[in-house]
């Protein structure tokens, strides 16, 4: 801990070398391995749930709603409770933020990596996770966010430039790819008659636009972010 505040600030604001293309592709392949096999996905999906519920919470605050709390459950489900007008743009944006948040965060992360701001990306993740902590209302959610934040902090503080690049690139690919599967799972549940209170169905009741169209919008956002973010990573 012999670094001055100035040294840390310089690291955060400075740029780092972009990882080589073979490493970017290796990270993409590793991220796929964390998403496709169902037993692994049951564990790794918790990270997507953090982004999903964090998206609900952030947009609720940005639209002037009162955020009461966030819960993350061991079955990878989550719940974000806010109050305010039961209808209107604020409620619609809050409901729509969950399934789009992982992909949009992945796209933002890819943009930062593409211009060499690897350390800044890691610190931004630490700050977002830290801001989420006071809003958590159950022990599992608190533990999950603490462990995730600790991993980001450890890599950003003690990790070499190469380790930071690998960790950040893997995380971005995971969000970009992991943002697609929950949307497909959502429609699968809806087709089987489940998930009647899902984000898409809540949006259908709020707007009069069918739930299937909201699922399609979530999927378009996820695939667009994957295409744009992946292109940035591969062209950096």
pLDDT in tens, 6-19: 666 777 777 888 88
Kindly report, residue by residue over 14-38, the tens digit of the pLDDT.
788 888 899 999 999 999 999 999 9
% of the chain residues with pLDDT over 70: 97
pLDDT for res 8: 66
pLDDT for res 2: 53
In angstroms, the CA 7 to CA 200 distance is 46
Q: Is the pLDDT of residue 213 over 70?
A: yes
Residue 116 DSSP code: T
Q: How many CA within 13 A on the CB side of residue 159?
A: 20
Domain ranges of the chain: 16-235
pLDDT for res 1: 47
Q: Which tokens is 156 given? A: 């950003």
Q: What is the pTM for the complete model shown? A: 0.94
Strand-pairing partners, residue 80, are: 70
pLDDT for res 137: 97
Per-chain mean pLDDT for the chain: 94
In angstroms, the CA 4 to CA 9 distance is 9
- Going from the C-alpha of 153 to that of each of 3, 15, 184, 205, the distances in angstroms are 15, 18, 32, 41
Q: Is the pLDDT of residue 216 over 80?
A: yes
Strand-pairing partners, residue 71, are: 79
| Mean pLDDT value of segment 70-97 | 96
pLDDT for res 194: 81
């Amino acid at each position: 801990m012999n670094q001055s505040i100035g040294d840390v600030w310089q690291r955060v604001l400075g740029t780092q070398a972009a990882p080589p293309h073979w490493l970017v592709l290796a990270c993409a392949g590793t991220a796929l391995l964390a998403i496709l096999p169902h037993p692994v996905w049951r564990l790794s999906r918790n990270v997507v749930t953090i982004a999903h519920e964090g998206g609900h919470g952030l947009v609720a605050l940005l639209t002037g709603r009162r955020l009461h709390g966030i819960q993350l459950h061991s079955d990878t489900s989550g719940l974000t409770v806010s109050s305010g007008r039961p209808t209107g743009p604020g409620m619609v944006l809050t409901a729509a933020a969950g399934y789009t948040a992982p992909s949009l965060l992945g796209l933002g992360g890819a943009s930062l990596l593409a211009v060499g701001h690897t350390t800044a990306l890691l610190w931004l993740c630490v700050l977002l996770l830290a801001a989420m902590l006071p809003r958590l209302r159950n022990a599992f959610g608190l533990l999950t966010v603490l462990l995730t934040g600790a991993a980001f902090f450890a890599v950003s503080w003690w990790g070499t430039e190469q380790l930071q690049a690998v960790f950040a690139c893997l995380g971005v690919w995971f969000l970009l790819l992991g943002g697609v599967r929950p949307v497909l799972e959502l429609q699968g549940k809806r087709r089987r008659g489940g998930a009647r209170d899902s984000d898409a169905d809540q949006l259908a009741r709020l707007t009069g636009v069918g739930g299937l169209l909201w699922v399609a919008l979530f999927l378009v956002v996820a695939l667009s972010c994957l295409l744009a973010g992946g292109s940035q990573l591969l062209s950096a």
